[in-house]
Amino acid sequence: MTETPPRATGEVALVGGGPGAPELLTLAAVTALREADVVLYDRLAPPVLAEFAPQAEHVDVGKRPGHHQLSQSGIEALLITQAQAGRKVVRLKGGDPFVFGRGGEEARACRDAGVTVRVIPGVTSAIAVPAAVGIPLTHREVSRMFTVVSGHAPLTAAELDHLAGLARTGGTLVILMGVLHLAQICQGLAAAGLPPGTPVAIIEQGYSPHQRLLTTTVASIAVTAAEHAVRSPAVIVIGEVVRLADQDPAAAADLHRAADLS
Ligand code: SAH
């Protein structure tokens, strides 16, 4: 009787790469990268492949101008065919794979195709990029909730009303993918009753040498964003916690005093 050697079984790991700094990868992410045969990455994935996955094939599935861009279904098909060929596939994403990263769709596509898939959570930019400039999303006596919203499409009047209500009651709003519709979002929040003086922070390109923090108010956002030519990727924070940002020690001290923390 001849024994057939066991076929290598491939698998997919959906890996959160964190907000950009290599030190903010998890140990599990590094292990998966070191064991990978192929890594599919895109624009927001941190630049860590040369260091942690030099052995693997690297496939850019992102949206850089001039590069071939794979559709979402094309990415899912590639994950599946690579795993079915017996390879260890890493899908490296920016931040956390399940925060606006289409990770849920990719996991489901793999499972539907009978491919083993696991998820390695990452440090999300929604929390880490504000932290890079000293903004805590919650702070005792200032904010006890935060809401993360995708701004990639204009928000509806009902959504704006709901969010303005949350912010009025001390909730912090965090907007990802919001640069394009920032003015519409802020006008809508003001129309829904958010005080126009509510502080806003725009943090561009967190954890890169080009990181930039702009602080302004809901009323002045459109002017500030245009004056400083704000560009994606940026995390937008709306709420009183913005006063705690590093760049404004006086305001931060006031708020600490108000919250009886100093
Ligand atoms: N899964 C990711 C988010 C994907 S949506 C995560 O958990 O972080 C993409 C949006 O994330 C961008 O439009 C931007 O709003 C935000 N983003 C991701 N990385 C960023 C960074 N380094 N600096 C600023 N914004 C970032």
Burial of 199 (0-12, 13-18, 19+ CB in 10 A): buried
Which of 43, 125, 173 should be mutated for ligand 1, with most atoms under 8 A from CB?
125
Query: Is the bond preceding residue 233 a cis peptide, omega within 30 degrees?
Result: yes
Using DSSP bridges, classify how beta strands 88-93 and 117-120 pair: parallel, antiparallel or unpaired. unpaired
Q: How far is the CA of 2 from the centre of ligand 1 (A)?
A: 53
Kindly name the residue from 63, 112, 246, 254 that is annotated as catalytic.
63
- Residue-number span of the structural domain to which 90 is assigned: 11-123
96 close to ligand 1 (CB < 6 Angstrom):
yes
Residue 99 resides in a domain: yes
Nearest to 100 by CA among 56, 33, 58, 153: 153
Q: Which residue type sits at 93?
A: K
Residue 22 resides in a domain: yes
**C-alpha separations of 191 from 48, 148, 157, 164, 201 in Å:** 44, 20, 9, 9, 20
Q: Given a cut of 80, is residue 254 above it in pLDDT?
A: no
Q: What is the pLDDT of residue 63?
A: 59
Work out the pLDDT band at 25, boundaries 50, 70, 90. very high
Q: Given a cut of 60, is residue 134 above it in pLDDT?
A: yes
pTM as predicted: 0.90
Mind listing the pLDDT tens digit for each residue in 77-98? Answer: 999 999 999 999 999 999 999 9
- The atom of ligand 1 lying closest to the CA of 177 is 13
Domain containing residue 223: CATH number: 3.30.950.10
Average pLDDT over residues 229-257: 80
175, β-bridge pairs: 149, 236
CA angle at 23 for the pair 33 and 13, rounded to the nearest 5°? 25
Q: Given a cut of 70, is residue 230 above it in pLDDT?
A: yes
Q: Is 131 found in the same domain as 113?
A: no
Q: How far is the CA of 114 from the centre of ligand 1 (A)?
A: 30
Nearest to 131 by CA among 146, 121, 118, 117: 146
**C-alpha separations of 227 from 150, 197, 217, 230 in Å:** 24, 19, 14, 8
Is 63 annotated as catalytic? yes
CA angle at 29 for the pair 23 and 35, rounded to the nearest 5°? 125
Residue 5 resides in a domain: no
Q: How far is the CA of 207 from the centre of ligand 1 (A)?
A: 11
With H, G, I as helix, E, B as strand and everything else as coil, classify residue 189.
helix
19 close to ligand 1 (CB < 6 Angstrom):
yes
Domain containing residue 53: CATH number: 3.40.1010.10
Q: Given a cut of 90, is residue 67 above it in pLDDT?
A: no
Q: Given a cut of 90, is residue 6 above it in pLDDT?
A: no
Average pLDDT over residues 115-128: 98
- 3-state SS, one letter per residue, for 22-70: HHHCCHHHHHHHHHCCEEEECCCCCCCHHHHCCCCEEEECCCCCCCCCC
The number of folded domains in the chain is 2
Q: What is the pLDDT of residue 155?
A: 94
18 close to ligand 1 (CB < 6 Angstrom):
no
% of residues, the chain, pLDDT over 90: 84
- The atom of ligand 1 lying closest to the CA of 98 is 1
Kindly name the residue from 37, 42, 96, 248 that is annotated as catalytic.
42
Nearest to 173 by CA among 238, 125, 221, 126: 238
Average pLDDT over residues 55-74: 81
Q: How far is the CA of 225 from the centre of ligand 1 (A)?
A: 18
Q: What is the pLDDT of residue 261?
A: 42
176 close to ligand 1 (CB < 6 Angstrom):
yes
Work out the pLDDT band at 70, boundaries 50, 70, 90. confident
Q: Is 67 found in the same domain as 100?
A: yes
Is 88 annotated as catalytic? no
